[in-house]
Homo-oligomer: A and B are copies of this chain.
Amino acid sequence: MHVEGTENKGERVLSPELEFLTSPTASCEMRQALQTRKREYCAGTILKVEAEENTATYCVLSGWLALSKSTIDGERQIIDVILPGEILHPTSADGHSSWIQIETLSRASLAVVPRAEWSKLEATDPTIRKLEATTIAASMSRMSERMLRLGKGTAESRIAYALIELCLRLTAIRQSKNREYHLPMTQKDLGDFVGLSSVHVCRTLRRLNRNGVISTMDHMDIRIHDVETLAHIAEVDLDRLRSEIISVR
């Protein structure tokens, strides 16, 4: 993977990291903590395996993460994709292990904050709690939309939905303009995300291409030409989806 999610065609105005750090929700302590705990990872790094010991909180400063689960025979399902500015608590109900595998889809910089420190931050800055709650709500909302299509949708609607969801989220953090963005995933990854084989992802993308709804250029540069149609295929109401999925800052 040769591309960096944050270098999306050079049309970004503000570094997402900067944006996150300077957002009104971030207190002074917060900024400092994020700075101190900041780490860089290259694309394809597995940060945490399912059920591995974990109590830390992850803040994505730049780059994309994939959360996944796998079956015994090695089939992977991507449960969610995490974008810059989002917060991740991978600790499961038992309080000390991770409920998902975490991996980087692109080069990424994260702040990994140990539990004790995170609690302290929460205590000093009440807005962090709100940010967390919103992040969780957004994530659940996204997951359920995907589950709906996983259970009841056609291949086309699953892919259309995924493309739209990512477009909305990227636009909100200014990493996409004009409904155009780079997807730091292979077709196999996209298939693992929407529950299709890579072959069928290819078929479906090509069909959308031929119909002029989207176009894909070298290794997953997406451009949505006809949002209306795409939204119709995905069976979504754009405005409603946006309000359910995007954290208000």
- Residue numbers of A with Cβ under 8 A of B are 51, 67, 69-72, 75-77, 79, 89, 91-95, 97, 99-100, 133-134, 136-141, 143-148, 150-153, 192, 194-195, 235, 240, 243-248
Cβ–Cβ < 8 Å partners of A151 in chain B: 77, 150, 192, 194-195
Indicate if the CB atoms of B99 and A69 lie closer than 8 Å: no
Indicate if the CB atoms of B141 and A99 lie closer than 8 Å: yes
Indicate if the CB atoms of B94 and A243 lie closer than 8 Å: yes
Q: How many copies does the complex hold?
A: 2
CA distance A147 to B70 in the complex (A): 11
CA distance A79 to B137 in the complex (A): 14
Cβ–Cβ < 8 Å partners of A195 in chain B: 150-152
A89 to chain B, nearest CB (A): 7
Indicate if the CB atoms of B92 and A148 lie closer than 8 Å: no
Closest to A129 in B: B129
Known: A69-B147, A77-B151, A152-B75. A134 touches B243 (CB 8 A): no
